[in-house]
Amino acid sequence: MPTYGLRSLEGMPKNSAEQQSVMLDTSFLITLANKERVNHDVAVKYHKEFIKRSYDMMLSTIVISEYQQMQTVTDLMVSGNYIPVPFNFEDAIKTAEMAFNVSSDMRASGERANAKDDIKIIAQAEANGFTFLITDDDSTMYKYCKKLNDAGIIKLKPIKLSDGLDMSIFNNGQTGLEI
């Protein structure tokens, strides 16, 4: 089986204070790859910042399977910039715990199948102690992650592309002064 130059989670500390990590959502990857998408330029800017600042860019196997349905993930993986994260037992338990907190939103959205995958990805990122989750999906992924974060259920911080590049993310919440 080809390794695609992959890095591994094996032996990585969970949520170390020094190392920042970001779970990449499928919608982020699609927007990054497609120049026609509204937030493409913002996705490119974030991607460059993640690389420049040596953030660990995590790809859930759930995201990999979704992305692979549209285009090959192999081109992404050979770069060595991404760490694949298998969905495991602990992630499944965390998902079940978290789903209760957004179940009414899932029913209201009418898109339970997609919402269930969103919760799995959020739970997986939280269970692994990742710092951020970046998405171009305002209607479910960002909404659920923000709701869980605001309620203090998770520490994972959501980033949505439609807000533009927020440099405070890279500066411990500090913003620059406009002079």
Range of the domain at 100: 21-167
pLDDT value at 34 more than 50: yes
Cβ atoms of 99 and 119 within 8 Å: the answer is yes
When divided into structural domains, the chain yields a total of 1
Query: What CATH number is associated with residue 43?
Result: 3.40.50.1010
Percent of the chain predicted with pLDDT > 70: 80
Instruction: Using a cut of 0.75, tell me whether the model's pTM lies above it.
Output: yes
Give per-residue pLDDT as tens, 105-126: 555 555 555 578 999 999 999 9
Task: Please indicate, yes or no, if residue 172 is contained in any of the structural domains.
Answer: no
**Strands (DSSP E) along 25-167, which ranges?**
56-60, 82-85, 132-135, 157-160
- Helix pair 61-68, 112-127: axis angle to 10 deg: 140
Task: Please indicate, yes or no, if residue 64 is contained in any of the structural domains.
Answer: yes
